[in-house]
Amino acid sequence: MKLTKTVILKLTSRDKELDRTVSKYTKGMNYVSGVVYKNNKPISVNKLQKMTYKHLRNRIGLKSQMSCNIVRQVCGTYKSLMAKVRKKKAEWQMITYKPNNITYSFRRDFTINKDWVSMTTLKGRRRYPIANYEYVKRYFDGAWKYSASKLVLHRDKSYYFHLCIEKDIQEPDTAPTTDIIGVDVGINYIAVASTTDRKNVFFSGGEAKNIRNIYSKQRKRLQSKGTRSAKRMLKHLTMREKRFMTATNHVVSKGVVEFAKTHRIPIIGMENLSGIRETTKVRKERRYQHNSWAFRQLRGFIEYKAKEQGIRVVYVNPRYTSQACSRCGHVEKANRNGLRFSCKACGYELNADLNGARNIGYKTRDFRQDLESQGCLSATHTETEKSEFQATSSNPSGFSSGS
Ligand SMILES: [Zn+2]
């Protein structure tokens, strides 16, 4: 299985040469684009190379490798345009490129380490220092391969190197197992994880809940004002909250995956919330969080970090995960009483988020057994991730009894 990622690195210094190279490169792109446009249909890479190489090299003064990259890039863009034209989703048109990026091939025109990136400019190779963030260092440990990457001029007028990296990782273990972690992304706790043999971990996310409430109140106040300065403040507030939640989500997702890794658990189950509004009535206090990007982001982070460790993520139907008893399977709205879960049938009591996490764990196990019985376990990673478990057993909640 291949894991790919784009790491964005800020160049801490720049020079005129970089601007000049980007500008000429774009000139080349637009020249080649004009040639294809006039042809009224895409041209093959080889043919286009022959048609434009001399002009790119001698007239515009681009390096040989750059000229090749330009042709390949423009070819690709027109091919996808043509595909849209055939589906009547676009018209044949001239594609114009803005002077804000260059595509580089690894080794042929860039090399990189944690301190600098060396790139081809019109005056040959030059080295530019990159901001040395702590988290970036691990991408230079020798385990990652670098592929075609981009130098991009961002809106802040700084250059960033968009380094594309990949590595082969171990396929998730598909031996029969009941070792599963159910993760509930909750209200009281940002996340609760519970293993099949009932080891639990709660992630409160520190001050996250309080801070989000404060932000939410401030936002309401500003929204009702509606003045221009209130709008500006609102934007500022939103950005700050986003940064805060992203940082929290990184910490929580890392914790969940480390928990799985420590207990050598190969599967994490989470709720599939994409179709939630159609399939279930979400409790009012949960709606905000379910619809919010922060919770989607958290699930995304968990999925990504799990994949990095060769841990599989399975999404299950969220129906009744908060109302069903994780011991006896009894479903009743009144089972859930705020922070506590207290079963009206068997009297079982526990933290409501933990009850949810356990239910998700059971569903994940059922889902897995379903796959096994259908002989689908060879299904690729992505297919498994996309499929959604629907409760089909005679038990209306779709749960097996807990123990
Ligand atoms: Zn019960």
Among the listed ranges 16-20, 142-146, 183-187, 342-346, which one has the minimum average pLDDT value? Answer: 183-187
- The alpha carbon of 402 and the centre of ligand 1 are apart by a number of angstroms equal to 9
Distance between CA 192 and CA 232 in Å, rounded? 36
pLDDT above 90: residue 75: yes
User: Helix, strand or coil for residue 165?
Assistant: strand
Highest mean pLDDT (candidates 92-96, 199-203, 278-282, 296-300): 92-96
* 292 vs 345, residue with greater confidence: 345
Q: How many angstroms does the Cα of residue 401 sit away from the middle of ligand 1?
A: 9
What is the CA(400)–ligand 1 centre distance, in A? 12
Q: Is the model's pLDDT at 351 over the cut of 70?
A: yes
Q: Are 357 and 268 in contact (CB under 8 A)?
A: no
pTM over 0.85: no
Residues 35 and 162 in one domain: yes
Same-domain pairing of 265 and 159 = no
Q: How many structural domains are present in the chain? A: 2
- Separation of 332 CA from ligand 1 center, angstroms? 10
Whether 234 maps to a domain, the answer reads no
pLDDT, average across residues 355-369: 87
CA of 271 to the centre of ligand 1 (A): 21
Region 99-112: what's the mean pLDDT? 92
Tell me what pLDDT residue 379 has: 34
Same domain for 144 and 14: yes
- Separation of alpha carbons 271 and 265, rounded Å: 18
- Give the pairing type, strands 267-271 and 312-316: parallel
3-state secondary structure 97-137: CCCCEEEECECCCEEECCCEEEEEECCEEEEEEECCCHHHH
What is the distance in A from the centroid of ligand 1 to the CA of 288? 28
Q: Is the pLDDT of residue 295 over 90?
A: no
> Is residue 184 scored above 60 in pLDDT?
yes
- CB burial of residue 248 (10 Å; 0-12, 13-18, 19+): buried
Flag whether 60 is in a domain.
yes
Ligand 1 mean position to 345 CA, how many Å?
5
* Lowest mean pLDDT, pick from 43-47, 205-209, 288-292, 397-401: 397-401
Report the separation in Å between the CA atom of 201 and the middle of ligand 1, taken as the mean of its atom positions. 22
Domain shared by 264 and 366, yes or no: yes
DSSP 8-state symbol, 195: E
Question: Containing domain of residue 48, as a range?
Answer: 2-168
Per-residue confidence band for 24, with pLDDT thresholds at 50, 70 and 90: very high
| Structural domain ending residue among the three candidates 121, 142, 168 | 168
Q: Quote the ligand 1 centre to 341 CA distance (angstroms).
A: 10
In a shared domain, residues 189 and 112: no
pLDDT(49) > 90 = yes
β-strand partners of 165: 5, 146
Q: Do 349 and 267 share a structural domain? A: yes
Give the residue among 393, 347, 350 at the shortest CA–CA distance from 370. 393
Lowest mean pLDDT among 97-106, 269-278, 357-366, 382-391: 382-391
39 CB contacts (<8 Å, ≥6 apart)?
none
Residues 6 or more apart from 59 whose CB is under 8 A from it? none
Report the DSSP pairing between strands 145-153 and 191-195: unpaired
Is 231 inside any structural domain?
Answer: no
H/E segment holding residue 184: strand 180-184
The whole-number pLDDT of residue 242 equals 83
pLDDT (0 to 100) of residue 303: 93
Same domain for 139 and 100: yes
Regarding whether 102 and 193 lie in a shared domain, the answer is: no
Q: Could you tell me how far CA 90 lies from the centroid of its own chain?
A: 28
Among 125-139, 208-222, 266-280, 377-391, the range with the most confident prediction by mean pLDDT is 125-139
Q: Are residues 157 and 305 in the same domain?
A: no
Residue 172's pLDDT band, with cuts at 50, 70 and 90, is low
Residue 349 CA to ligand 1 centre (angstroms): 8
Residue 399 lies in a domain: no
User: Between 402 and 228, where is the model more confident?
Assistant: 228
CA of 189 to the centre of ligand 1 (A): 22
Tokens of 323: 């109302």
Domain endpoint, select from 146, 168, 190: 168
Give every CB contact of residue 11 below 8 A, 6+ residues apart in sequence: 117, 128, 129, 130, 131, 158, 159, 160, 161
